[in-house]
Amino acid sequence: MSFVSVTPPRYDCDIFNEISNAKKDTNLKDYSTVTDTDPKNVEYDDLYLVMGLSKGTLVFISVDNLEQVYARFSIHRQQIDQIYEVPKYGKIISVCHELVLNIWGFANGVAHVYKSFPILRPLIDIKVAGQLILFGFKTGDSEMFLWEE
């Protein structure tokens, strides 16, 4: 489970007809325009709660409307164990139980997997700092990658 600021297209891989027939909620608050310094008016960057489910499905839920699934996508074949956002590039990194890492995002209104590769060992954590991505593994070693578009 993770919070992200990337906005997915409104899509449900399993029940597309329900989403396409539903009315868009126009009562959602836009936190990006908050300028008041009052602590209750904190500017939020995270717009969606993303949860990885079994069978490789990711569910996006708007933080303004936690009772409704905003979008659902199938990205992996097995349960998703970890989800990380690369906010500078609007991409998401996810790792499934089969130790397959996918780098994906949204293009032209659909989810697109840009790169998928086996990592062959369990991850502890991923840290994103600008263009650098640090992978920490349970074996004690780490790898650092430079993100270039």
Q: What is the pLDDT of residues 47-58, one digit of tens each?
A: 888 888 888 888
26, pLDDT greater than 80:
no
Class of domain 2-119: mainly beta
Mean pLDDT, the chain, rounded, equals: 76
Domain boundaries along the sequence of the chain: 2-119
In this prediction the pTM is: 0.70
Of 31, 115, 15, 25, give the one whose Cα is nearest residue 71.
15
Distance CA 32, CA 132 (A): 26
Residues 6+ apart with CB under 8 A from 22: none
Sheet strand arrangement including 57-62: 2-4, 48-52, 57-62, 69-74
User: Of 88 and 39, which is predicted with more confidence?
Assistant: 88
